[in-house]
A and B are shown apart, each in its own frame.
Chain A
Amino acid sequence: MSYVAIKGGGHAIAGAAAVTEYLRTEEGLGNPAAEPLAIDAILHQLRHLVDRVVSEGGVYHPQFAALAIKQSLGDTLEAAFALRAWRSTRPRLSATPPLDTSRMRLIRRISSAFKDIPGGQMLGPTPDYALRLLRLELMDESPDAFRAVARNWLEKCPEAQLPDTFPKVLDALRAEGLLPPVTATRGQTAFDITREPLVFPVPRSAQLATMARAETGSLLAIAYSNMRGYGDVHPTVAELRVGYLPVMLPHPVTGELVEAGEVLITECEVVAMYDVQDAQVPRAQRCAGAAEADETGGKPVFTLGYGACFGHNEVKAISMAILDRALQKGMKDGASNPSEDPEFVLLHVDGVDSMGFASHYKMPHYVTFQSDLDRLRTTQQKSGEPA
């Protein structure tokens, strides 16, 4: 009687890697003009892919993000995963103090709350109002034409008298007493999700950090559930800004803050309608962390949601801001739908976790399946027996 060979696993893995590499380089078959995808080309021409991967990978390293995109053949989940795994090998050497986003070098900032805002609306690079028509002329773009576009744009660009920084829209609302005042959090260090496990209930900084490196689609899906009915946050985008944020680090010798570089980030602040009940609930019944009425002496105020992430990822930042608001509500009043439940949201939005677990079902499970068979056969046998 034959038996199944127990050798061959190693060869199979090597073969799978080789055939994947074949797919990556297949274009070179009989095509002398074929060139490998340059990291610079990915960084520039596929920049939103890089933005997504640095954000979900949780480490600001655009070059390695581009490399990860290249080696994963453009699979964002895989690329973010490779970047995250690389991050595991790096020790944490220092931490920045909270960074002031009003100092961002902006490429875009808008507010949907006001027609005009101090500093002005600045549309910047966005596809928001573009017609999504296929640009067939790009099918066979000539290198010369390609090189001329950016040069021509810069030449025609007027020397703008733009200020270095723009005021935050929220500051105006806050000055009018329409928002809860900023509570002092000095001395409270932000929760580092890469060094501490989430043990619920978790502080807001842990929630924000988890969402900041969440998988975009997962975050969007849960935020969308809140927007369209399984929730009651009706947000207005007070401000959405995209730009380069100076990163300040304490100098290793003097301890003085020095600018170590800058990171491209997207930041979104949403304002939601106040809850009428907020003003009526007696102070004693309010749990810690509840903002609004208490801090303004019982007056109802708007509520806030905050989102920020590495890279130019507007849908992600908006989704995060909506969920931040929803989670704060859930923490205060108890979750009345999934998007307000911190465990539900925070434990299901990480791309590395969820894609890994979905993929693991492809691994052999024959021992546990043998166990399942044993149970099913026994129960079937018993159900066939006369009682």
Chain B
Amino acid sequence: MNAMSHTQADNAYNFGFLDEYAKKEVRRAILKAIAIPGYQVPYASREMPMGRGFGTGGLQLTLSLIGPDEVVKVIDQGSDDSVNAVNLRRFIEMTCPGVSTTTATTECTLIQSRHRIPELPLTAQQIIVLQVPYPDPLVVVEPSEDKRKIMHGEADYSRLLVKLYEDIVKFDEITISHRYPTRINGHYVIDPSPIPRWDVPKLNDSAALTLFGAGREKKIYAVPPHTIAEPLAFSDVPFRVEDFRDEQGRRRACARCGCVDSFLDEFVADSGSKTYQCSDSDWCDMQLQQVKPLQGKPA
């Protein structure tokens, strides 16, 4: 189907906002990124009508991949109703007439997300696009992009490992909380975008294609399906995800659905007491439908 025919009369923008040349360029960069897992492919990122840093890189991937039969889900912080997710979804609906949007992870074919990978394992029929502020994990040890490119080519991640080691010496812990450096297919180390450590294992051997778009930094990279993704760690200091146990060592549960194996958001009430709730709002709804009796009774 000719995408040009979808041009909306009222705003005269092309289907998917970008002109067709721009979309082709992004698709070529995506193919290269898939062919070289974890390699940051430079591309001439376009300005989008929302702020750099609000997901313009991810959005360019989404708009270049989107077809008229697509079912799109947009989340931010795990939630479909977060202001930024609403904004991006509305823009996609406006510029891609005919495309369906959903909040259900089970129904979508394309997910654009900021800071989370859904709890529900994704399938081979799905693509997830993650929004990236800092595409290069080496930026914490080397400010020059020119030098970092050489380090990546030589798979020279020694300074990154020294940083992890120094953390252990200083704090007895690796202090990297999110954006945890992850080695892809045994060579390139990527910044997996600011997903929590909780989500990093989901990249490994994922059935779905994971794409990363950094609009401001003008880079695209990918973790293809069923590819090895290993967070950097030491044999005696293993990688650890966020700890959601309470003072007594019991796993905290979601205050809404009762789930005890999801990433939780922490809420502080006016009284100062804390409650916890699933960060993935669609997951929370699914749990609620399946396990109604547990509702509202946290551990």
**B20 touches which of A81, A91, A361, A370 (Cβ 8 Å):** A91
In contact, B79 and A6 (Cβ under 8 angstroms): yes
Which residues does chain A contribute within 8 Å of B178, judged by CB atoms?
367-368, 371-372
Is B38 part of the contact surface with A, judged by Cβ < 8 Å? no
Q: Which of B47-94 contact A (CB under 8 A)?
A: 47-49, 51-54, 56, 76-87, 90
Q: If A197-B45, A368-B194, A379-B172 touch, does A8 touch B14 (CB 8 Å cutoff)? A: no
A177-205 near B? 1/0 per residue, CB < 8 Å: 00000000000000001111111110000
Which residues does chain B contribute within 8 Å of A370, judged by CB atoms?
196, 242, 263-266, 279
A3–B82 CA distance with the chains assembled, in angstroms: 16
**A195 touches which of B20, B44, B49, B52 (Cβ 8 Å):** B44
A379–B169 CA distance with the chains assembled, in angstroms: 12
Q: Which of A150-184 contact B (CB under 8 A)?
A: none
**B171 touches which of A7, A201, A383 (Cβ 8 Å):** A383
In contact, B267 and A4 (Cβ under 8 angstroms): yes
In contact, B145 and A200 (Cβ under 8 angstroms): yes
In contact, A3 and B47 (Cβ under 8 angstroms): no
A371–B173 CA distance with the chains assembled, in angstroms: 14
In contact, B52 and A364 (Cβ under 8 angstroms): no
In contact, B45 and A343 (Cβ under 8 angstroms): no
A33–B134 CA distance with the chains assembled, in angstroms: 51
B237-271 near A? 1/0 per residue, CB < 8 Å: 00000110000000000011000000111110100
Give min CB distance, A330 to chain B, whole Å.
Answer: 12
Which residues does chain B contribute within 8 Å of A361, judged by CB atoms?
53
In contact, A357 and B243 (Cβ under 8 angstroms): no
A368–B192 CA distance with the chains assembled, in angstroms: 13
Q: If A6-B281, A366-B77 touch, does A359 touch B51 (CB 8 Å cutoff)? A: yes
In contact, B76 and A360 (Cβ under 8 angstroms): no
In contact, B19 and A367 (Cβ under 8 angstroms): no
A89–B60 CA distance with the chains assembled, in angstroms: 12
Interface size bracket, A side: 35 or more
Is B224 part of the contact surface with A, judged by Cβ < 8 Å? no
Is A90 part of the contact surface with B, judged by Cβ < 8 Å? yes
Listed residue (A13, A368, A370, A382) with the most chain B CB atoms within 10 angstroms of its CB: A370
In contact, B115 and A367 (Cβ under 8 angstroms): yes
In contact, A364 and B84 (Cβ under 8 angstroms): yes
Q: Which applies to chain A's interface (DSSP): helix, strand, loop or mixed?
A: helix
Is A87 part of the contact surface with B, judged by Cβ < 8 Å? yes
Query: Which of A136-144, A218-226, A307-315, A348-356 lies on the face that meets chain B?
Result: A348-356
A1-15 near B? 1/0 per residue, CB < 8 Å: 111101111101100
In contact, B81 and A367 (Cβ under 8 angstroms): no
B19-53 near A? 1/0 per residue, CB < 8 Å: 11110010000000000000000111111110111
A363–B297 CA distance with the chains assembled, in angstroms: 31
A84–B216 CA distance with the chains assembled, in angstroms: 13
In contact, B242 and A371 (Cβ under 8 angstroms): yes
Interface size bracket, B side: 35 or more
Q: If A343-B144, A370-B265, A372-B178 touch, does A10 touch B90 (CB 8 Å cutoff)? A: yes
Is B157 part of the contact surface with A, judged by Cβ < 8 Å? no
Is A88 part of the contact surface with B, judged by Cβ < 8 Å? yes
In contact, B47 and A85 (Cβ under 8 angstroms): yes
A196–B45 CA distance with the chains assembled, in angstroms: 8
Which residues does chain B contribute within 8 Å of A198, judged by CB atoms?
42, 218
A201–B19 CA distance with the chains assembled, in angstroms: 29
Q: If A367-B196, A368-B196 touch, does A360 touch B52 (CB 8 Å cutoff)? A: yes
Is B17 part of the contact surface with A, judged by Cβ < 8 Å? yes
In contact, B21 and A92 (Cβ under 8 angstroms): yes
Is A375 part of the contact surface with B, judged by Cβ < 8 Å? yes
Is B207 part of the contact surface with A, judged by Cβ < 8 Å? no
In contact, A363 and B216 (Cβ under 8 angstroms): no
Q: If A1-B275, A88-B47, A379-B173 touch, does A367 touch B21 (CB 8 Å cutoff)? A: no
Give min CB distance, B21 to chain A, whole Å.
Answer: 5
Which residues does chain B contribute within 8 Å of A382, judged by CB atoms?
171-173
Which residues does chain B contribute within 8 Å of A8, judged by CB atoms?
81
In contact, A197 and B173 (Cβ under 8 angstroms): no
Which residues does chain A contribute within 8 Å of B206, judged by CB atoms?
none
Which residues does chain A contribute within 8 Å of B79, judged by CB atoms?
6, 9
In contact, A360 and B51 (Cβ under 8 angstroms): yes
Q: If A9-B81, A89-B19, A357-B52 touch, does A379 touch B47 (CB 8 Å cutoff)? A: no
Nearest to B257 among chain A residues (CB) is: A3
Is A374 part of the contact surface with B, judged by Cβ < 8 Å? yes
Is B277 part of the contact surface with A, judged by Cβ < 8 Å? yes
Is A378 part of the contact surface with B, judged by Cβ < 8 Å? yes
Q: If A12-B83, A200-B145, A364-B76 touch, does A353 touch B52 (CB 8 Å cutoff)? A: yes
Q: If A193-B44, A197-B42 touch, does A82 touch B19 (CB 8 Å cutoff)? A: no
Which residues does chain B contribute within 8 Å of A368, judged by CB atoms?
115, 177-179, 194, 196
In contact, A88 and B48 (Cβ under 8 angstroms): yes
Which residues does chain A contribute within 8 Å of B275, judged by CB atoms?
1-3
CB-CB nearest 8 A-B residue pairs: A356-B52, A360-B53, A197-B42, A356-B51, A371-B177, A88-B46, A85-B49, A9-B86
Query: A9-B81, A88-B19 given. 12 additional CB < 8 A pairs?
Result: A9-B79, A10-B90, A197-B43, A352-B47, A361-B53, A365-B194, A367-B77, A367-B78, A368-B115, A368-B194, A370-B263, A370-B266
Q: What are 13 contact pairs spanning A and B, CB under 8 A?
A: A4-B277, A88-B22, A201-B146, A356-B53, A356-B54, A359-B54, A364-B83, A367-B77, A367-B279, A370-B263, A371-B178, A371-B197, A372-B178
Residue positions of A touching B, CB distance < 8 A: 1-4, 6-10, 12-13, 81-82, 84-85, 87-92, 193-201, 343, 347, 352-353, 355-361, 363-368, 370-375, 378-379, 382-383
